[in-house]
Structures are given as C-alpha cells and as structure tokens.
A and B are shown apart, each in its own frame.
Chain A
C-alpha cells in the first residue's frame, strides 16, 4: 500500500489529488482545487497539498510520493515532476477507461493527446503563440457580457443563430464583442459563435494527432462547459471526424490524478531498484 499526491499547477487553477494504491488497484481519497485569481501559485500548491492531507486524515510522512505536473517544476516539497502530456493522458484514461484521446482545454493552452488503452501517449498536438480560443479568452468575453462562468454553457446551448467569429485575438475580443452587442446580437448567439470557433480549433488539433475513430475525453478547466462540449460534437460531425466527445465531473483533476498515478508507478520502480541493490 502506498499513498501518493498529484499536484497540477495550471495557469488558471491549482489542483491536487490523493491516492492510495496497491499494485493496479487505485483508490482516490481526496481532491482539492483552487482558482489562482492573481494569487501566488506556489502558495496555493502548499494549500491544496495540506488540504488533501487533512481530507484524507493523513500525516505528511505517510505520503510516499508527491508528484507535480503543469507549471509545478519549482514546488519545493515535491518528490518528482511529470510532463503534463503524460499526466493528462493517464488521468483521462483513469477517469474514463476505454477512451482514445484526451483533449485538454486550459486557461492558456489547448492540447489534443491520442492515447492507447493504458494511457500511453501515441501522439499529441498543442496550441502555442496565441491565446485565441483558450479558456482565458472565453472568460474575458463572458466578463464583457456580464455572464457568470457557470451560465456560459446553458446559455450557449439555447442559441439558434450563432454569430460566426473568425479566430480573434483574446485581447481585442473586447471591441469585437462591443460591436456585436451594438449590432443587437443576442448574448447566447455570441457565446455559441465563440464556442464554435474554439471547437473548430480543438477539432483541428485532434485531427492532426492521427486519431481515426473512438471517443475523446475533455479535460482541464473548460471540460465542464456543456456549451463547448456540444459545439465540439457539432464540429466533429461537420469535419467528418468519427470521434465522440465526452466529459467527466472530475475532468478538471485529470492532470493531478495522472501525476499521482505516475508517482505511484515511479515509486514502485524505485523501490524495486533499491531492493535489487540491497540484495
């Protein structure tokens, strides 16, 4: 029996997950998530770490491995760090066994990861250089429109005539939205238009990974946006990509879960090596 904690530092939120593992049996004991909101991510990493320990009723010395992922390279109390592509893949497969791809939509980046049934990364593609179509972008727009984050998805799904937007700069979107509002376009149509533009970017990423069919799990901060999920599904049909998009209530923890599971794996390997060396 070993206990591990995964900590995923993103650009929008810090997540942690605590697992107890026995060989291939993994039990998820606790989870915590804190939005960063201009606070110090390192401080929040400490908080979510202490949070899961308290929730599981464990002492720090009872934890065998603390694994970080995302921007967590500099967390001082960590045992090791894992690349986020691998942790999201592993976490996605744990949450939803049988999926063929993980699509992570975070605050600043989006990535599509094609995986095998054990969560091994077959290929991946991620956005870079530009925050258009990222979570931050959607958040900016929602703020200009005066829509709360939880309302975005339900509103978007009521749209009948989505307003087409080309890929627009996350910063200049402000004036674009002002123009749309002044042209009298309804809030739900604006949001749906943006969801479709984000979806087209995401589906393009997914296509490049080489996936032909199956299902893709949405992870990251935007995974619970039902409007985005619906838009991705529409876009898959339009683009003739034979992949079903799905989400999971704990999707936001995929990175932290993956880190904890990889931590358990590495801890086991290290112990094997030690035992062999001792013998």
Chain B
C-alpha cells in the first residue's frame, strides 16, 4: 500500500508519522536524535512503519472478530513480546561490540578480567530482561540506550565490586560501544521478530492459541503487504542534513502550522515550545502560515530551560511540573537568561523560599517569554493550539491558561496528546499533497 511519511528531526528526539491514501494516521514513531541524523531519521521512520503494521493488525483482527473482547490484551502482549525480541537482539549486539572494544582498549593486564566481568554482566542482563517487558512493567524510556544503559550501570557496579575490577573500565567500554550499537538499523529482522513474538504471545495467552489460525492469517497477510514509502518529507532542526533532495524538505514552521491544522482544523494560532526553540505561528483556515515569530539561539523560554533547571535541582525533567503544581505562592523570577535563572534559583533556595513556589515561578517565566513571542507574531486568536514537548508539562499548561485568560479572555485551547508529532504530521500531509494533489514522484538526493 502507498504510504506518505513525514520526519521531524528535532534537537532531542526525531519523530515520524505515516499516513495512508485517505490521510488517516496509521503509524507514529519516535527515537532519540543521535549524533548521526541519518540513522535517527531511518529509525524513526522504521518505528512509524512498525506502528503502522500494528494499526493494520488491529484493523484486520477487529474486522474478523477473531479476538472478540481480547483484542487489546492480545496486541499489547504482541507488542511487548516484539520489544523483548528486539531488545535481546540489540543486547547480544551490544555484548559482542563491548567485547570487541575490550580487545582494542588499553586495559593492560586487566583485559582478561574485564572481558570475564563483561560476560557476567551480560549474563545477568539477559536474565533480568524478561521482567522489563512483562505486563504492567513500567518503562522509564523507550530507547535502547536508556533501558540497557541503566541496567548495565547498576549491574556493572555490582559485578565490578564482586570481581575486583575497576568500575570505570566497564563504563568506558559501554560508552565506546553504545554509540556504535545505537547507530545500527535492524531493519531486516523486524518481520522475523514479529513472527517469534507471535509465537511467544500464544504461549503467554494460551486461551488465544485455540483460535490460532484465525489470528495468524490476517497478521501474516499484513506482514506480506509491502508498506511502500511513496513520498517522504523531512523537517525540523536537522532537516538540512537529511538524505533527501530539496523537494523533500519543508521548514518546520510550515510543517507545524499544517500539522496543528490537521489535528485541530479550527486552529488559528499555534504555539510550539520545543527543546531548543519556541515558535508562534498564525495560520489561515487551510493551515497555511500567515506569519510567525520564533525565539532562536537562546534557551530562555524553551524546553531546554526546564532541562537546565532540572539538572540544577538534581531532578528528572518530568518531576518539575508536578512539583510546581503544589505551589501556593507566586514568586517572580527576574532573570531572563537560563544560567542566571539557575543562579537565582539557588539564591532563593538559600533565602528560604519553597521549591514548589520557585518552580511555579520558573514555569510562569518560560510561558511569559512565549506570550511575548505570541504577541509579536500577531497575538492569540481562537482556536489556540499548544504543541511541543513542553505541552506535556501540566504546570506550563496551567501558567499558559492563566495568562491567556488574563490577556485574551476565553479561548478554546487545544492540547493534543500526540502534539509531539505535530511537525511530522505536517510533513506527512505535505508528502500526501505532493503526490495526490500535485502528481509528484519521489526524487533522489542530487
């Protein structure tokens, strides 16, 4: 079947969206942007196509009624089993790569014992891995680097102590190997993993095994259907480095405007707060950009501002919002610059202000910056759509709602749970238009 794909290469994560001929979103994929943009784009696309397969499984199995009532459980289990298969392959690859790096590292007499310790670490990681993908297991991250990394660090510390080798040798080996593993695309093994995952799922959910044939047939049928990459459009911070011809690149402003319009057709003003920039975009009733303003090359007012504060406070990024929600008092943060705000935060803590009140002040500060960018772009019109990673932060959303009400009155504020994919969706829509409305064909990079 024909697929239209948008890839948004952000500074922190790379997102891809796949839509079909009737402009239904069939798949979304996300990965961490590595130092290698080509790989990030490839993996995000592969994830989105995989997600698309699951969408098609759901459709086919839902139509056939083979899993009446148990569809969600079955597909969730299938996906977990697939992730498990994939994890095992990457883990084996990581082990082989680590062992190769030990051989070339300058550990002197310790080489043999490091290699033995490494084998022990990976033996334990393999036994621990099933639990990571068990039903109800909470994943802190979906990215291999993070999952394997946190397991490796914890287990490595124990093993290093037991075997009396230096922990930093193990760290060094991991750091040198993970980049290599992370930059490999395992596209050939997806179908094989899906088939093994299917077998595993029948074992885990024995009640479905009796209907095996009715379940298997549509899944195998979909696996044999080629998902043709009819047209790909790239956008985002790293778009200039994508392996596409110029025809396949659109600015992130255009893609965000169009993506927000596709998600919420009534959108007139878009605010996007991403990792490294903040954009305010005015769009017409067709999703075409009328004007925009953006804050570039300064972290104040972007997601990175909150990331920096989280580092200063030794907290996780996702913990900031909930903490700020507990605030009972308004504190005004006077610094614009992120580094100065970090210093102000320390001063205020030493003066005895409460963490939650300061946090609320910091969230208000970033939204205040956004309000001024919005004002310069032409103000806020109804409906107003908020996108980007910061739209997931409840304290930022609360501050935005308050400030919009104070300055512009009652407006419809749209926040989509998939707002992180806005740019990629816009890109996919451009890809669809290029082929379906303008009759273009894909072009190779010149």
Chain A residues engaging chain B, CB cutoff 8 angstroms? 11, 38, 40, 42, 108, 129-131, 134, 136-137, 166, 168-172, 175, 178, 181-182
Contact = CB atoms under 8 A, between A and B. Distances in A.
A53 B297 CA distance: 47
9 contacts: A38-B346, A40-B350, A108-B343, A129-B336, A131-B338, A131-B339, A171-B304, A171-B308, A175-B11
Contacts of B300: 169
B35 A169 contact: no
Given A38-B346, A171-B338, 4 more contacts: A130-B298, A169-B298, A171-B299, A172-B298
Interface string B402-441: 0000000000000000000000000000000000000000
B297 A169 contact: yes
Contacts of B350: 40, 42
A197 to B, nearest CB: 13
Contact of A168 (B35, B297, B304, B340): B297
B298 A178 contact: no
Contact of B337 (A40, A42, A130, A175): A130
B386 interface: no
A contact patch SS? loop
Interface residues of B, number: 19
A131 B340 contact: yes
Contacts of B304: 171-172
A182 B40 CA distance: 14
B267 interface: no
A175 B336 contact: no
A19 B276 CA distance: 49
Contact of A172 (B35, B297, B343): B297
B305 interface: yes
Contact of A175 (B276, B305, B308, B346): B276
A129 B337 CA distance: 6
B337 A131 contact: yes
Given A178-B35, A182-B35, A170 B343 contact: no
Contacts of A136: 339
A172 B339 contact: no
A178 B37 CA distance: 12
Nearest to A134: B339
B320 to A, nearest CB: 16
A172 B11 CA distance: 10
Nearest to B314: A38
Contacts of A178: 35
Contacts of B340: 108, 129, 131
B297 A108 contact: no
Contacts of B343: 11, 108
Contacts, number: 48
A172 B299 CA distance: 6
B339 A171 contact: yes
Nearest to B312: A38
Contacts of B36: 182
A170 B304 CA distance: 11
Interface of B: 11, 35-36, 276, 297-300, 304-305, 308, 336-340, 343, 346, 350
A27 B338 CA distance: 42
Nearest to A181: B35
Nearest to A168: B297
Nearest to A176: B297
A134 B338 CA distance: 13
A171 B305 contact: yes
A233 B4 CA distance: 56
A108 B337 CA distance: 10
A172 to B, nearest CB: 5
Most A-side CB within 10 Å, residue of B299, B346, B350: B299
A171 B276 CA distance: 10
Contacts of B35: 178, 181-182
A158 B339 CA distance: 30
Contacts of B346: 38
B431 to A, nearest CB: 27
A170 B297 contact: no
Nearest to B35: A182
Nearest to A178: B35
A131 B340 CA distance: 7
Given A178-B35, A182-B35, A172 B336 contact: no
A129 B334 CA distance: 10
B37 to A, nearest CB: 9
A38 B276 CA distance: 26
A155 B330 CA distance: 47
A129 B11 CA distance: 25
A170 B276 contact: no
Contacts of B11: 175
Contacts of A108: 339-340, 343
A131 B343 CA distance: 11
Contacts of A171: 299, 304-305, 308, 338-339
A172 B338 CA distance: 10
B437 to A, nearest CB: 36
Contacts of A169: 297-300, 338
A172 B276 CA distance: 7
A169 B341 CA distance: 13
Contacts of B299: 169-172
A76 to B, nearest CB: 14
Nearest to A166: B297
Q: Which 10 pairs show the lowest CB-CB distances between chains A and B?
A: A131-B339, A171-B299, A171-B338, A169-B298, A130-B337, A131-B337, A182-B35, A169-B299, A170-B339, A172-B299
B312 to A, nearest CB: 9
A134 B342 CA distance: 14
B165 to A, nearest CB: 23
A137 B297 CA distance: 14
Interface centre among B11, B297, B346 (most CB of A within 10 A): B297
A181 B34 CA distance: 13
A169 B302 CA distance: 12
Contacts of A129: 336-337, 340
Nearest to B36: A182
A249 B350 CA distance: 33
A256 B308 CA distance: 31
A11 B306 CA distance: 21
